[in-house]
Chain A
Amino acid sequence: MPISASELLTLTREGLYCPLGRFHVDPTWPVERALITHGHADHARSGHGHVLATPETLRIMAVRYGADFCRTRQEARLGDEMRVGDVTLRFAPAGHVLGSAQVAIEKDGKRIVVSGDYKRASDPTCLPFEVVPCDVFITEATFGLPVFTHPDTRGEVRKLIDSVKLFPERAHIVGAYALGKAQRVMALLREEGWDRPIHLHGAMEKLTELYKQEGIALGDTPKVAAADRKDLHGAIVICPPSSIQDVWSRKFPDPVTAFASGWMRVRARARQKGVELPLVISDHSDWPDLCRTIRDTGAEEVWVTHGQEDALVHWCGTQGIKAKPLHLLGYGDDGEAEPDPAQAAETAEASA
C-alpha cells in the first residue's frame, strides 16, 4: 500500500510538518527542527532548535537575526539527496531570492514538493527555478488571479531611468523590499546601463553587502547620509516601501516616489500608496507562471498555501487537478514578502 500525502506532510499550528522526518517547513513559531525555504522574515524566523537550509539562506538569517539565530544548523546543498528520519529530501532552486529553494520530500516513490515562494522570470541575483516532477505540489498564490501578468522587467527599469532623464532635478525614491527585490532592482539597473551610484537607505545596507559577498555585482551603492539628502538631484535611492511616504523621504529634492512590486499592476493599489511611478517588478510567479508550473510538475494534487487561493484552486479543478487551499497563517504579512498593501499597509509601516 503506497504512502498517502497526508502521512508525508500535515498541517500543524506552526505550519507544515513532516511526521516521518520530524521537521517543520517554514514554521511561523519556534520549533525543534525547521527546514527553511528562503530568508524572508515570514518564512525564516529565529529561535528554532535546529535549522536546515541552503548556505545562502543560513547566512541571510545570520545577518538578520545574529549568528545565534538557532542552536545548530546544517547546510543543504542544491541537488543532493539527504536522508532525514524516514524520508529523503532534495533541495532545488526556487528563483525567488538569493538562496531560495524548493524542497522535495519523498518516501516509497511518493514525492511532495514544497515550493516556498517562487518565480519563473529571470533574475540576475539568484538561480533559476527548477521544475521538480512530483505527485503533490505545494504552491504559493500571492498573485493568483488572472489579472496578474508581470511585464518584462527591463521595460519597468527603463521607465525609472527615463523618468530620471525627464526630471533630472528630482530624486527618485524607489521602495523595494530589503531582501531580494532591492538587490534585483540594483542588478537590473546595472544591466540597463545605469552606472551612477545607487543610493541606499540604511535598512538596505547589510543585506546588499551580503549579496556582494556572494559574488553578485551591484556596483557602487553608497548609504544615504542624512545631511546629503537635499543634494541628491537626479539620484536613484532605494529604500524600504514604508519609507517612501515617511518623514525620511521629505528631505530629498522634489522626490518622485516609485515602488517596485507586483501589486503595482493594479492602479488602485499604486494610488493608495501615493506612488507616482509604479514599477511592476515581482519576485513571485504571476498567474500564467503559477498555472504553467503546476502543469510542468505533473502533480496530480496541488495544495495552495498563501495568497489568492480560491482562483488557483478553481483553475486546478477546471484542469482536472485535485486542489485544496491550506489557509496557512502568518505568511506574506510582514512587509517583505509582498503583502497586499491594501490589507497590510499597517504592518508594512510597523516593520519600518
Chain B
Amino acid sequence: MNRFAHLLDRLAYEPGRNAKLRLLQDFFASTPDPERGFALAAMTGGLTFREAKAGMIRGLVEERIDPVLFRLSHNYVGDLAETVALIWPTPTVIPGRREAAKPESTTGGNVSHSSVASRVDSGFSPLASPGMTGEGSRSGAGIGHNNPPPHVPTLSEVVETLATTAKKDLPNHLADWLDALDETGRWALLKLVTGNLRVGVSARLAKTAVGALGGHEADAIEEVWHGLEPPYAGLFAWVEGRAEQPETLNPAPFRPPMLSHPIEEEADLQKLDPQAFSAEWKWDGIRVQLAGGRDREGDHVAKVYSRTGEDITGAFPDLAEAVTFEGAIDGELLILRDARVQSFNILQQRLNRKAVTPKLLEEFPAHVRAYDIFGKDGEDLRSLPFAERRQALKKLIEQLDHARIDLSPIVPFATWDELAAARADPASAGAGADADAIEGVMLKRIDSAYQPGRPKGPWWKWKREPFVVDAVMMYAQRGHGKRSSFYSDYTFGCWREGPGGADELVPVGKAYHGFTDAELQKLDRYVRNNTQKRFGPVREVAHGRDAGLVLEIAFEGVQRSTRHKSGVAMRFPRVSRIRWDKPPAEADRVEALERILERGERGIAPGATVETES
C-alpha cells in the first residue's frame, strides 16, 4: 500500500505527461502481482467495494483527537482525507509512547506526544541542547515482543478486505490500517476507501504504461480490456511475454474507436482527391458504441460504451434494449423528438442526470445515428474497406428496423466546393431541420480499413466555422507545469447594461489556448504591466471602456450557466486572435451570446406539440 501511495503522491505533483508515464511504467515494472494489478484497477476505476463514509472516518479520528483541534485542522486543510492522514496519531511504531497509552490522553495531548516521538532525529541530534529538550519521555518501551510492529497492509489486502468485510467491521480494519501506514499511505488509503481517488492520471494513460511494458500500444490493451478482471495477472503475463494474449470473455466487448484529424483550412483539402472520399454530417452528440453478443449460457448481452470505453449501459436502458443483434456498431448518441435531432444543450440535460427515471427516458429519448460497424455475427469487419463496411452497416440497420437506431446519411458531393457549400448550409443540403445539431462534415476514405487510434489520412473532420466574439480580458491566472511562470489562463468579459444603467463588463468565459508561444510571452507581459489587483494566483487586469485588451474568442456553442454571472457559458472557447488594435469599448455584448444560445435551444420542448414548430 505504501508503494502505491508514494506513486500516487508523485503523480499528484508531476505536471508532465511523459514524466507521469515514466513513473507509472517504473511502478508496473517493479511491483509484483497482484499488487500492481489492483493499483491498475484503482486507477482505471475497476474496483468495486463498499465505500467508507466521511462520517465514519470523522468518528474514528474523534476517538483519537480532540474534536475541536480536528475541526480547526479540517477547516484549515480543507480536504478530509488529507487532514486525517496528517493528524492521525501513529502510536505503535514509536518508541516511548508510555504516555500516549494512557487512556486520558486521547485528546490533543496524545497527538502531541506520539508525534513528537515520531521524529527521533531532531531531539537526538548532537546540536540539540541535551537535557533541555525533554527527550526523556522518548526512551520508553519500543517495539518489542509485547509490542509488535503493526502489519502494513498491501493494496491487495485492502481491496480484498473491503470487498468481503461486513459494514460493522469496516471501522476496525480501517483504524488498524491507518495505524500501520505512513502519512502518504494514509492519504492514499482514505482517498481509495472514500471513492475519491483522483490522481491526475487517466485510465488511458495507465493502460498506455501497461502496454509499454511489452511494446504494445494502449489500443492493444483496450482490445482485451473489457473481458478482464482485477488484478489482471493474465494481462501482465501477456505484455511481459510470459503468456498468450488473454482471451476476452466479454461477449460484447468495447473496441477502441478510429479518430480523425481536423481540416484546418481549405488548402488542406486541395491535397485530397474528392473522388476517394465519402462525406457525412458531423453530429453534435456524443460518440458511443453499441455491442451485442451471446455469453456462454447463450443469453444475449447488450452493451453501450462511451468513446473511452466506459460502460454506460445502465444510463441508457432505452438504447440497450434496441441492441438485439450480435455485433458492434459505432455511432453518435443524440436526442430525437418527433424524428428531429435536438441540440447538444438538450442532450446534456440527459447526460448530466444520475438517476434514470421513466420521465427522463420519455422526455429525452436516446437515439443512435450509426456510421460504422466493427463486426457482425462473430465476424470482425474492421479490415474491410469503408464502402463494404457501410453496406454491411446499412443491411444491419435495415434488418434491425428499430426506431432508435438509424443510419447517418451520406452527403453527396463531387467537388470540394460543393462540400464547402453543404458545410456552410447543411439545412439546404439535405439536413433540413436537423441542421442545428450539425457541427461540420466528416470525410472518410472509401478504401480505408477501420484502424483504432488516429491514423493520419483516412478520416478527416471539417468542422463548421466556429462562432467568434470580441471580449475584453478581465483576469489572468498562472498556468501549470511548463506554463507555471506565465499568466496563460484568461477570464474575459462582454458588455451589458449594468444595474445603474451604465454598461459594465461581465465575465463570459475562460480560455487558455489558441495562441502561440510567442503570443503567450506578449500576453504575459501585458498582464504583468496592466495588473490592477492581485487575489492570490489571480491578477485583475485593467478593463473598461478605455483600457483593456480585446481577445477574439472562438467557440463551438453557448450553454446556460448558473455559475457565470452572465448566465451563459461557451463550449471550447479559445483565443483565436489578439486584437491589440481594437478599443475595448467596441468589444461585443452579452446579447450576442444570448442569441446564439436561443438558436441552440430552439427545439421541440418535451411534450410540446409539433404545431408550434411547423
Contact = CB atoms under 8 A, between A and B. Distances in A.
B72 A311 contact: yes
Contacts of B132: 128-131, 296
Nearest to B125: A122
A150 B123 CA distance: 13
B272 to A, nearest CB: 39
Interface stretch (A19-27, A101-109, A312-320, A327-335): A312-320
A309 to B, nearest CB: 10
B154 interface: no
A124 B76 contact: no
B139 interface: no
A121 B14 CA distance: 30
B76 to A, nearest CB: 6
B418 to A, nearest CB: 49
B13 A272 contact: no
A289 interface: yes
Contact of B129 (A130, A151, A287): A130
B115 A314 contact: no
Interface in B51-110: 65-66, 68-70, 72-73, 76-79, 82-83, 86-87, 107-109
Interface in A250-306: 250, 254, 257, 265-268, 270-272, 274-278, 287-289, 291-292, 295-296
Interface string B526-547: 0010000011110000000000
Interface in A134-171: 145-154
Nearest to A132: B132
B127 A128 contact: yes
A88 to B, nearest CB: 21
Contacts of B68: 311, 314
A315 B67 CA distance: 11
Contacts of B134: 131, 292, 295-296
Contacts of A154: 121
Interface residues of A, number: 56
B534 A147 contact: no
Contacts of A209: none
A267 B590 CA distance: 38
A146 B69 contact: yes
Interface string B1-33: 000000000001111000000000000000000
B122 A122 contact: yes
B569 to A, nearest CB: 25
Contact of A288 (B12, B72, B116, B125): B116
Contact of A121 (B118, B122, B478): B122
A265 B86 contact: yes
A283 B370 CA distance: 65
A154 B125 CA distance: 11
A193 to B, nearest CB: 17
A192 interface: no
A147 B127 contact: no
B116 A152 contact: no
Contact of B478 (A147, A245, A266, A310): A245
Contact of A147 (B14, B83, B109, B480): B83
Contacts of B109: 291, 315, 318-319
Contact of A249 (B12, B69, B82, B485): B485
Q: Which of B79, B134, B535 has the most CB of A within 10 A?
A: B134
A289 B15 CA distance: 34
A215 to B, nearest CB: 14
Given A152-B121, A288-B113, A272 B76 contact: no
Contacts of B484: 245, 257, 274
A217 interface: no
B128 interface: yes
Contacts of B537: 272, 345
Given A129-B129, A245-B484, A268-B77, A311 B69 contact: yes
Interface in A82-125: 120-124
A318 B73 contact: no
B133 interface: yes
B119 interface: yes
Given A120-B122, A292-B134, A314-B66, A128 B128 contact: yes
Nearest to B84: A147
B537 to A, nearest CB: 6
A167 B118 CA distance: 31
B394 to A, nearest CB: 52
A158 to B, nearest CB: 12
Given A120-B133, A276-B13, A318-B107, A311 B73 contact: yes
B381 interface: no
Given A272-B537, A315-B108, 5 more contacts: A121-B122, A145-B69, A149-B115, A268-B78, A278-B13
Interface of B: 12-15, 65-66, 68-70, 72-73, 76-79, 82-83, 86-87, 107-109, 111-113, 115-116, 118-119, 121-123, 125-129, 132-134, 478, 480, 482, 484-485, 528, 534-537
Interface of A: 120-124, 128-131, 145-154, 245-247, 249-250, 254, 257, 265-268, 270-272, 274-278, 287-289, 291-292, 295-296, 308, 310-311, 314-315, 318-319, 342, 345-346, 349
Query: Which 6 A/B pairs are nearest by Cβ-Cβ distance?
Result: A122-B125, A288-B116, A291-B112, A274-B484, A147-B86, A121-B122
30 contacts: A121-B121, A121-B122, A122-B122, A122-B125, A122-B127, A124-B127, A128-B132, A128-B133, A129-B129, A129-B132, A146-B69, A147-B76, A148-B86, A150-B119, A254-B482, A266-B82, A267-B12, A272-B536, A287-B111, A288-B115, A289-B116, A291-B112, A292-B134, A296-B132, A296-B133, A296-B134, A311-B68, A315-B66, A319-B109, A345-B537
